[in-house]
A and B are shown apart, each in its own frame.
Chain A
Amino acid sequence: MSQEIGVVGSPDFTTGFRLAGVRQFANVPEEEKPDRLDEAVTEMFEDDGIGIVVMHDDDLDHLSRTVRRDVETSVEPVLVTLGGDSGGGALREQIKRAIGIDLMDE
């Protein structure tokens, strides 16, 4: 089954991806993020036609704890975050737990 790529974020963030042809996007302006981001992200993750969800790393801070945990551990669709400092905070935690040492330590 062919799937599409979805983008969630501020209009500035999504425009570039739309220029590359992404049509599954959710625009959430900066000031509405604390209220609307959870809903937009959940909706995106429930869509079976989407295989990859792209978000800005800083936007994860606006998500509620449960939604954040769900999206960070989700495999289908998988979340890819851009920007931010490290990339994959939850992944890093999981590595520490599974392997026993912090392998992402630079």
Chain B
Amino acid sequence: MAKDVKPTRKNLMAIEDRIELSERGHDTLEKKRDGLIMEFMDILDQAQDVRDQMDDRYERAQRAINMARAMEGDVSVRGAAAALKEHPEITTQSKNIMGVVVPQIESSKVKKSLDERGYGVVGTSARIDEAAEAYEELLETIILAAEVETAMKKMLTEIETTKRRVNALEFTLLPQLYENQEYIEQKLEEQEREEIFRMKKIKAKKEEEESAARAEAEEEAEDEEAEEPVTADD
């Protein structure tokens, strides 16, 4: 509140410094927010493409596994699924987009050749191979989607924080500082006016005193002049 600050020149200077700093910070944060939103737009386009691709592949994988189930029976599909030896692994590295650390996921052993799968070639049919391949492709897209969606979540959080900071500066801190500045300036001006008024009063009083003293002195001189001839006559 404006009433909490002492109206001194020192405080005014401190507030002016803070205003300058806050305005600079506000501009920088605003630029950061806009930059983040632009980066986010790029990622969003990418995310929508990935999601479309993922939906297509999921549908295809489901069709393939349903076909395998229908032809081979649920038990042999489950049996093949339980026999897998190689497992897909992911490693996460990070990338920095405007101060936001987003992951870059690298995968290994997602796509496997027939002999790497481990369920054997003789006991199973091509339907199961097709289903396995479709799901491997789906996993690849899922990994890509995970990367893009994590980046989106992190960027959104950062955008929200930056937006909140910009708003706090714009609508709370800066108005308060301006209010304080105006309050101090008005108080100082008032003090100055009071000071001038006081000086004028003092000056007027002094002049009055001086003129009174002068008048008195003149009067005395006149009296003396009037008295002197009398004494001379005596």
Interface residues of A (CB under 8 A from B): 1-5, 11, 15-23, 51-52, 54, 73, 75-76, 78, 80, 82-83, 87-88, 91, 94-95, 97-99, 103-104
Contacts and interface: CB of A to CB of B under 8 A. Distances in A.
Given A4-B90, A16-B81, A20-B139, 13 more contacts: A3-B92, A4-B89, A18-B82, A21-B110, A51-B105, A52-B142, A52-B146, A73-B153, A75-B150, A76-B150, A82-B142, A88-B51, A103-B41
A47 to B, nearest CB: 14
Main secondary structure of the interface of A (DSSP, over half): mixed
B138 A20 contact: yes
Nearest to B158: A98
B29 to A, nearest CB: 15
A17 B143 CA distance: 13
B84 A18 contact: yes
Given A2-B89, A16-B135, A20-B132, A98 B156 contact: yes
Nearest to B64: A16
Interface in B123-142: 128, 131-132, 134-136, 138-139, 142
Contacts of B160: 94, 97-98
B183 interface: no
Nearest to A1: B91
A38 B91 CA distance: 27
B12 interface: no
Contacts of A76: 150
Nearest to B106: A2
A88 B84 contact: no
A95 to B, nearest CB: 6
A19 B142 contact: no
Nearest to A97: B160
